Structure 1
Amino acid sequence: MRKPLLATLFTSLLWSTLAPAEPTYIEKMTGLPAICSIDAIEQQTKVWDAERKYGEGSKRWSEAFHHRLDVVRVCVDDAKSKGKALYRAEADRLPQLKSELADMYVSWLGYLDHLIDDDRDAYERQYELSANRLKAQVDSM
């Protein structure tokens, strides 16, 4: 699953070098949890496969389940560090939007935290709402 994904990302990267527009702050922040979400889905598929073959609670199921948590936790930690740097740079660039940026960042962190436990839907909606508020504020400037 990773090879087709990497080929797609590489192709996108190649085309993006031809595109004159830099991704927006919101696009960059949205892309970070998307990568972790893909990892979570891939690992969850392995958990379901182990459940089907060996039963829930079996040693192999438990190993797959804990491996999923570890993989997603590593991805989330990496995304948080990258997102923190993006947030600081954007807050420095647009100090008049510091409150809106902070609101979006808080909901983004909550969304990332809940990628680990696979309870992401409500937090994703909250993040999208805050990102839309920020976008509206930026568009009004």
Structure 2
Amino acid sequence: MKTLTIFWIFVFGLILSSSSALGQHPSEAVKRGFSVIGVWRYQGGEEKAMEIHFLADHKAIFKGGYAFYNAAKWYFNPATAELRLIVPKMKQDDFKLFNQWTNTGLKINLKEKTIVYTLRDARLCFMGYFFEKEKK
């Protein structure tokens, strides 16, 4: 079942990669005045709804799923729209899932346990699930 799930994540990833938030060229909207701080939500579907809370003190807290990775850290460069998510509790094998997204601009650093996103909009993929930033 897990293999089938990973397969479908990969297939949908290929379909969505041309318009996903993981692309290499950030939009002007993300570059100008964009803040990562807030709640990012996976609405649910294949799994129950989940959230990533990006806090002002650069902590990222997972709720509703992946809480065993708490607490992560994040850093955002608005000039490049690059979001670095450092997940110290993530095992190296868990990072393998992200390898399928590297062709879309996502990078991983196993040594530093870091996932690097280049945001095009307020959307990111974590462990195969798309999280979108809640609008205020």
Length-normalised TM-score, structure 1: 0.25
Instruction: Indicate the structure whose relative CO is greater, using CA pairs within 8 Å and at least 6 residues apart.
Output: 2
Give 1 or 2: higher helix fraction: 1
Length-normalised TM-score, structure 2: 0.25
Give 1 or 2: higher strand fraction: 2
